[in-house]
Amino acid sequence: MRLSDLYNMQIIGTSGKVYGKVEDIILNFENGVVYSVLTEKLENIKREQDIKDRLIKSSIKFERVVSISDNIIINDNQIKR
């Protein structure tokens, strides 16, 4: 699977909750892994004072991914976005 295949995939929790679609991806270049997927495009976060809060709200750590097929399924037990 290519990284670009993740864009626009629906993110669904194991509880059935829909979190949105993948709009952007944060990579850890040092480790060569996906760090998190975002439900909001980074370019849409314009005001500096909002950056931290908006990133936290729209970010889902990739370590929570359980499976990827037509959708991304995440473990949403005790989820910390």
The string of pLDDT tens digits covering residues 18-76 is 999 999 999 999 999 999 999 998 888 766 567 888 888 899 999 999 999 999 999 98
Q: How many domains does the chain have?
A: 1
List beta partners, residue 36: 26, 61
Task: Indicate the pTM of the whole model.
Answer: 0.84
CA distance 4 to 59: 17
In this structure, is residue 80 part of a structural domain?
no
Residue 8 is assigned to a structural domain of this protein: yes
| Per-residue burial over 54-79, b = 16 or more CB atoms within 10 Å of its CB, e = otherwise | bbeebbbebebbeeeeeebbbebeee
In terms of residue numbers, what domain contains 57? 3-74
Tell me: pLDDT of 79 over 60.
Answer: no
Q: CATH number, domain at 41?
A: 2.30.30.240
